[in-house]
Amino acid sequence: MNPHQHGEVFVTEDGAETDLDLGHYERFVDQNLGKLSNMTTGVVYRSVIERERRGDYLGHTVQVIPHITDEIKDRIRANAHENDADIAIIEIGGTIGDIESLPFTEAIRQMKIDEGTENVMYVHVTLVPFVGPKNEMKTKPTQHSVRELRNIGITPDILICRTKAPLSDEMKAKIALFCDISIDGILEGLDAQHIYHLPVRFEEQGFAKKVLKRLGLPDETPDLSRWQHIARTIESPKHTVKVAICGKYLEHAAQPDTYISVVESIEHGALDNEAAAEIVWIDAEDREGIARELSECDALLIPGGFGERGVEGKIEAIRWARENDLPFLGLCLGLQTAVIEFARNVACLEGAHSTEFDAQTPHPVIAILKEQRAVEKKGGTMRLGTQPCSIAPNTLAHRLYGQSLILERHRHRYEVNPRYHRQLTSAGLKLSGLSPDGRLAEIIELENHPYFIASQFHPEFKSRPTRAHPLFSGLLAAAIKRQQERATQGPQTIDELRRSIA
C-alpha cells in the first residue's frame, strides 16, 4: 500500500498489514485485533476461488449470491468466535451505492435473517452539509443515502449525522419523516475540537443505551472518567511542547495519514503528561534547514519508512539531537539510521551504512535479516507481527517498561548487523533490548543523554489514548523537562545558537 495514496499501513498482533482505520478501532476499543478483523474484496474472492478449485462446491455454479456473501458472513462469525465477542462491530467503508461495497451490504442484510432481527442493528453515518452564502443546512444527502440503503433492503436503526452545527428539532423531525426513522434514533456527530471528545459526546446522547436495549444486553453505568480526564487535558493542558517528526512522506503533511499512529501516539504521551504536543514536520530531504528547525523543538522522532530518499537527512537530524541533548525516539528505520549515525560519527566506522541503501558499504552495520535473504515475493513477507524482546536491567528501556520481557509489533526486513554488535557497544551504544536468542537488536539507547532511545519494532501500533505507550510517554516527559530547563536557563545567545546549528 503506497503511503502517499493510502496512508499508514497498520500492523496487527498476528502480522496482518491492514488499512489504517483498524488502528482507530484498536485505540478506541482497547483490544488487539487480528487478520480476521480486516476483510477485503481480494481476500474474500480468493478464498471462494480456492474453495471452488478444491471442489468444495460440488460442481455448483459459483455466484456472488450466495457464495461471496456466505464467505463474508462466515468471516464475520469466525472473527467473533475467535475473540469470544458479545458484540461484533462491522464497518463497511465507502459510500452507499458504491459497486465495491455491494456484496458486503448484501451480506449484512442477510445477517438479520440469519441471526434474528433482535440480534442485528444498523447504524448509518451520513453527512448534513451547509451550502450557499447563508450556510443553509441540507438534509437531501441524508435522505438520498438512506433511500439507497432501503433499496437494498436495509433500514437504519440509528442515524449519526455529521454536522458542523447542532440539529434543530425541526431538522430532526424532517429527517425522521423522510428517512422513516424515529427522532430518538437520530444522533449528532457534531464536529468536535478533538476526536477523543466523541466517546463522551455519544454517551451524553445515550448511544450506548440505545444499542444495548436494541440487542437485549445488560445496561450498566459506564466508567468514562479516563475519557473525561482526556477531554479536560485537551482543553486545558499544563504544558505545550514541540515535537519534530523528520520524515519523507510529507507531500500531504496537512493530512498526515502516512504517520497517523505515530501522531496519535505522541498525543497519547502528551496526554499522559497532562500536556499538548505541537507537531513540527521536518522534511528529511531538506538537509539545509534541519538544524535550524530542531533548535526550536523540544524533542525529535524519526519514524519508519522504506527507500534511500531522505535517509541522509534523518541521519543528520539524529546527529544534531545526540550532540545537543535533544530528546530522541527512533522507530524501525529510525533505529537503523541512529545506528548508522553512531557508527560513522562515534564508532569511527567511516562509510558505515545499510545494505538496503548501499550494497558496497565498507561497514554494513545494517543488513538484511538472515531469514529474508531467500525471499523473492515482496508482498506480505517481511518480519511481521508480535515478537518477544528481552530488556536488560538498569537501562532506560527497563525503567520505561518496568519489566524484562515485552511483546511488540514488527514490520521490517533489515536489522542491526550482529557482526557489529561488539564494536558498537564498545563505542558506547547500549543494546538494551534483544531478541531472546540475543541475535537481533530490538532497542538501542545512549547513556549520558537526557533521552535517546530507538526501537526496531513499531510501538505506535500498541499505544492507546487511555494507556500511552511508555516510549512515547517517556519522550514527552523528557521534552517537558527540556523545555522547563531551557526556560530557567534563559534564551541562548546568538553565538550559542550558531554553534548548536553548526
C-alpha–C-alpha distance, residues 498 and 364, integer Å: 34
C-alpha–C-alpha distance, residues 96 and 123, integer Å: 13
Catalytic residue selected from 161, 246, 297, 332: 332
C-alpha–C-alpha distance, residues 206 and 31, integer Å: 23
Sheet architecture: strand order including 186-190: 123-127, 158-163, 186-190
Identity at 433, one-letter amino acid code: G
Task: Quote the cell numbers at residue 143.
Answer: 435522505
Q: Report the run of H or E that residue 431 belongs to, with start and end.
A: strand 429-434
According to DSSP, the β-strands at 383-391 and 429-434 are antiparallel
**What are the start-end ranges of the E strands in 22-133?**
123-127, 130-131
Task: Quote the cell numbers at residue 2.
Answer: 503506497
C-alpha–C-alpha distance, residues 258 and 247, integer Å: 10
Catalytic residue selected from 264, 341, 442, 460: 460
Identity at 233, one-letter amino acid code: T
C-alpha–C-alpha distance, residues 248 and 189, integer Å: 34
For residue 186, list its beta bridge partners: 159
Q: What is the DSSP letter of 35?
A: G
> Does residue 179 have an active-site annotation?
no
Catalytic residue selected from 410, 412, 421, 458: 458
Query: CA nearest 215: which of 81, 88, 101?
Result: 88
C-alpha–C-alpha distance, residues 178 and 176, integer Å: 6
> Does residue 161 have an active-site annotation?
no
According to DSSP, the β-strands at 275-283 and 239-247 are parallel
C-alpha–C-alpha distance, residues 367 and 378, integer Å: 17
> Does residue 348 have an active-site annotation?
no
Residue numbers annotated as active site? 332, 458, 460
